[in-house]
Amino acid sequence: MNKEIMYDIKGMTCAACVIAVEKAALKTPGVLESNVSLPTEQLRVVVDMSFDESKLYKNITLTGYKASAIDNSETLSEKQNKKLKNMRIKIVLALLFMIPLLYVSMGHMIGLILPSMVDPMANPFGFALIQLLLTVPVMIIGYKYYVNGFKNLFRGNPNMDTLVAIGTSAAFLYGVYALVMIGLGNHEFADILYFEVSATILVLVMIGKYMEQLSTTKTTSELEKLMDLKPKTALLFTGDTYVETPLEQIKINDELMIRPGDVVPTDGIIIDGTTSIDESMMTGEPIPKDKTLNDEIIGGTVNITGAILMKVTHVGDDTVLSSIIKRVSEAQMKKAPIQKLADKISGVFVPIVLVLALLGFIVWMIATRDFDFSMNILVSVLVIACPCALGLATPTAIMTASGAAAKHGILIASGEALEISSKATMVVFDKTGTITVGKPTLLKVISLTETKEDKLLQIAASLEQQSNHPIAKSIITASEEKGYQLSKVDNFENFTGLGIKGKIGETTYLIGNEKLMLENKIKLGQIKTITKDYSKKGISALYLANETELIGILAISDQLKDGVIETVKKLNELGVKTAILSGDDINTVTHIANEVGVDEFYGSLLPQDKQNIIKTLKEKYIVMMVGDGINDAIALKEANIGVSLSSGTDVAMSAGDVVLMRSDIKDIITLIDLSKHTVRNIQENLFWAFIYNVIGIPIALGLLTLFGGPLLNPMIAALAMSFSSVSVVLNALRLKRYKGVKQWKLKSTV
């Protein structure tokens, strides 16, 4: 029988690391499936009976990483925050050395005064030596970039760390060479030191990595929030009393007391009592479900009204909530369908540059036997091919675009999310809280007698004032908005699943569903035709009666959010398909879908049903899922891109790759539009970063000297490299001017 095992992995920094660990795991006998999550730094393997854990540890160690059993002594958030703290400390320490380094290396160029012992004119050797001494600590602080960069290079998987390691090493080693030459009396080398290039690149990369980790930390806590839904204890019925018992000691067939307001500790069935259960964490629907004898209840849901006794049917990993937690964890491990273009370029670019630099050095040594000339060629090639521009191409565009998105109320967790958004071919919406407001609203009061509608509303609100049911709250809210004074209710009775009975003055009233009316011998007659029509439109109907006859109907429904219909039409204009997934009944979903105009719709879904539908849709489309509830968390993770609303649950917000802070559905259009602008900007950046190398490397190799032209000085090479970086940054900053699409208009349908 196959089983799933999780491990902590230490030492990963990038996608290449993830690939290396996955390949190492798959080489282990018995490993059938391997998935690594860089944000959580965990490995998930599916193994059979032949699995040998010691061989897995060995294979991963040989790859350069460390695997260990899951450490539960710290929460994921605590681990992530500790990592952030360490990164902050390293950045501060590196800045303490980089700032004086920049002062020494460049201060004299802008008229700053340097002590004579480090003045380039008075003491060129001291000038070079102090730069070396200030650069080395920065390189030590950033040693992991060299370890990971060169390690991946030697394994044939060069990445951005490899580019950083090679570029800064080239500048540093040439600086060491220049220092030696200065010591030998060649003082002109004091003008071509590149120590500050190494330090500056390292610090900028550290800051970029910190920002990336900061975003990652905010998006990896949904599992902990789901786990927090589980209470730690339960009230166990021992036959004559109730004992508060740790949840892990609860067994199947145990009987538990659930009081009003309690979170249901595990899955089971009701064996005594009636109540209403808030299942919004499972279904996303705001209206509690009435429960009575033999009805199933789910762990993590909330008991609203009555005290009940339940019999446990599932515990531990077999519960519905545990299943959701497992599915979210698995979805989090799965790979995004897109690869960074910069990584693809660097995978080819780095070895080519190395080979060209070495070949240039060897060829010119053979041709001229001039070491200085050949060394100039080697360093010029490496310096002009410094990865600064290539490394800045993607993150600068992403950071600028993320800032522009934030101004429009859109929080984007990663560059990957921003990139995928531009390619979405289907947008799938949750219904309640996403397409609709998510709160029951009183639409209409219909009088069936001479009693006026305002009076009927006042009576209904008075009866409902002792109930905390969402429908009751909607009636009371409507009454408060009109300023009605509620009446005193005597002989109040609450019939769970049916409605309410109470006496106002000398008259007894009933308010509830059809069953309550029939039990009290209230005839409905032709009025049932109206309520059936309401049901088809997704509208709930409450009957209001006195002791002898039906006197009114209250129509209650969840309303569409502003801009939903316009957003769906705009998506259709853009060629993007749309769908609705909902836990609500199919009649209600059908009505909403027809009103909104989506292409597909599905109702009566559980969380895992939503996930399975998303999986199927992904076979044909690049899917963007938009939701706001815990029940949407799995689907948000399963989709190519998950978009959550800030008005939803914390878990849904964390599970989403993008959060719409204004909970304005129209911001989906802004997200897609900004994403397309950003991807285009990244492509332009990569072009500028790469074109300088395409032009500069042949010149650095001495091409012009063959035709009587000058040899490229490393200083000019560094200037060209810097210019390419400036070009990339300036191009990325254009995204700051992004104005959004707030005023977008639909094309005429005439």
Distance separating alpha carbons of residues 58 and 56, to the nearest angstrom:
5
Q: Is the pLDDT of residue 167 over 80?
A: no
Q: Are residues 121 and 91 in the same domain?
A: yes
Lowest mean pLDDT among 95-104, 169-178, 655-664: 655-664
CB 399, CB 211: distance < 8 Å:
yes
Domains in the chain, number: 6
State mean pLDDT over 576-604: 88
pLDDT the model gives residue 591: 86
The pLDDT-based confidence of 454 (bands split at 50, 70, 90) is very high
Q: Report pLDDT digits (tens) over 119-152.
A: 888 899 999 999 999 999 999 999 988 887 787 7
Q: Is the pLDDT of residue 748 over 50?
A: no
Lowest mean pLDDT among 42-56, 254-268, 638-652: 638-652
Q: Report pLDDT digits (tens) over 361-384.
A: 899 989 888 776 787 787 677 667
CB 405, CB 186: distance < 8 Å:
no
Question: In whole numbers, what is the pLDDT of the chain averaged over residues?
Answer: 81
The pLDDT-based confidence of 544 (bands split at 50, 70, 90) is very high
Q: Phi and psi for 140 in degrees, rounded to 5?
A: -65, -40
Distance separating alpha carbons of residues 724 and 392, to the nearest angstrom:
10
Considering the domain boundaries, does residue 82 fall inside one?
A: yes
Q: Phi and psi for 44 in degrees, rounded to 5?
A: -115, 125
Q: Are residues 165 and 89 in the same domain?
A: yes
Q: CATH number for the domain including 27? A: 3.30.70.100
Q: Report pLDDT digits (tens) over 296-307.
A: 898 888 898 889
Considering the domain boundaries, does residue 749 fall inside one?
A: no
Q: Is the pLDDT of residue 645 over 80?
A: yes
Q: Is the pLDDT of residue 7 over 60?
A: yes
Pairing outcome for strands 507-512 and 623-627: unpaired
pLDDT the model gives residue 701: 87
Element (H or E) spanning 4, and its range?
strand 3-10
**Which residues make Cβ contacts (< 8 Å) with residue 311, sequence separation at least 6?**
253, 254, 255, 256, 268, 269, 271
Q: Report pLDDT digits (tens) over 25-53.
A: 999 999 998 888 766 778 889 899 999 99
Active site residue 240: no
| Pair of tokens at residue 376 | 């100039």
Q: Are residues 377 and 349 in the same domain?
A: yes
pLDDT the model gives residue 530: 81
Considering the domain boundaries, does residue 328 fall inside one?
A: no
Distance separating alpha carbons of residues 451 and 463, to the nearest angstrom:
17
Selection from 552, 364, 555 nearest residue 478 by Cα: 555
Runs of H (alpha helix) within 701-736: 714-733
Q: Are residues 28 and 145 in the same domain?
A: no
User: Which region holds residue 121: left if phi is over 0, alpha if psi is between -120 and 50, else beta?
Assistant: alpha
Q: Are residues 295 and 375 in the same domain?
A: no
Q: CATH number for the domain including 653? A: 3.40.50.1000
Q: CATH number for the domain including 447? A: 3.40.1110.10
The pLDDT-based confidence of 107 (bands split at 50, 70, 90) is confident
% of the chain at pLDDT higher than 70: 82
Considering the domain boundaries, does residue 126 fall inside one?
A: yes
Domain-ending residue, one of 637, 661, 685: 661
Token pair 């200085």: residue: 372
Considering the domain boundaries, does residue 691 fall inside one?
A: yes
Q: Are residues 104 and 191 in the same domain?
A: yes
Considering the domain boundaries, does residue 710 fall inside one?
A: yes
Q: Is the pLDDT of residue 749 over 50?
A: no
Considering the domain boundaries, does residue 192 fall inside one?
A: yes
Of 161, 430, 628, 657, which is the active-site residue? Answer: 430
Q: Is the pLDDT of residue 218 over 60?
A: no
Q: Are residues 263 and 198 in the same domain?
A: no
Q: Are residues 586 and 488 in the same domain?
A: no
Q: Are residues 461 and 496 in the same domain?
A: yes
pTM attached to this predicted model: 0.59
Considering the domain boundaries, does residue 330 fall inside one?
A: no
Q: Are residues 301 and 374 in the same domain?
A: no
Q: Domain limits at 27?
A: 3-73
CB 22, CB 15: distance < 8 Å:
no
Q: Is the pLDDT of residue 336 over 50?
A: no
Q: Are residues 534 and 465 in the same domain?
A: yes
Q: Are residues 576 and 655 in the same domain?
A: yes
